Amino acid sequence: MTSDLIEEELALRLRKAFSAFPTGVVAVCAIGEDGHRVGMAVNSFTSISLDPPLVAISVANTSRTWPALARAGVIGLSVLGNGHEEVSRRLAAREGDRFDSGAWRVGDEGAVHLDDAALWLTCRVHGEVEGGDHTIVLLAVDDARFFPEIEPLVFHHSRYRTIGA
């Protein structure tokens, strides 16, 4: 086997293995420099610190959306709720209107949040760390609104799922 083939096989096994860890899906959205909404979906989101309040997302280095979000200043994170599968698919698409589904709100400073989300965070970029083919983005949290009545959307084994009672 060639080295490239071995690396491809490992990458496929890792993709499958990593999908065994259930994650939430987060909409990362803002008003861009051109005044239009810009956003993407991520499932690599984690809390980092309470003091100072920090969270992190992981963004592919090939993302065409992240540079526009990084320049936006204030960014809205919405933890998608059960029933937001179409919103997630649209935000992950390379073509078309990413905001065609769902009801969106724009905050005074330009953070964009999704109605019926389980959580809203309003953030600013705190720093970035290189991590292979992704960049780990640390975000400082300016505000948080939690909606405990909303069940989150879960992504597991490359499928959308819900949490049972």
Using the predicted structure, report yes or no on whether residue 1 has a pLDDT greater than 80: no
Tell me the average pLDDT across 121-136.
96
Say if residues 19 and 156 touch (Cβ distance below 8 Å): yes
- Do 39 and 29 contact (CB within 8 A), yes or no? yes
Q: Is the pLDDT confidence value at 5 over 80?
A: no
Identify the band that residue 2 occupies on the pLDDT scale cut at 50, 70 and 90.
low
Q: Specify the pLDDT at position 143.
A: 97
Residues 42, 88: Cα–Cα separation, whole Å:
9
CATH of the domain spanning 22-161:
2.30.110.10
Residue 156, pLDDT score: 84
pLDDT tens profile 12-22: 888 888 877 78
Quick one: tokens of 107?
């905050």
Do 30 and 111 meet the contact criterion of CB atoms below 8 Å apart? yes
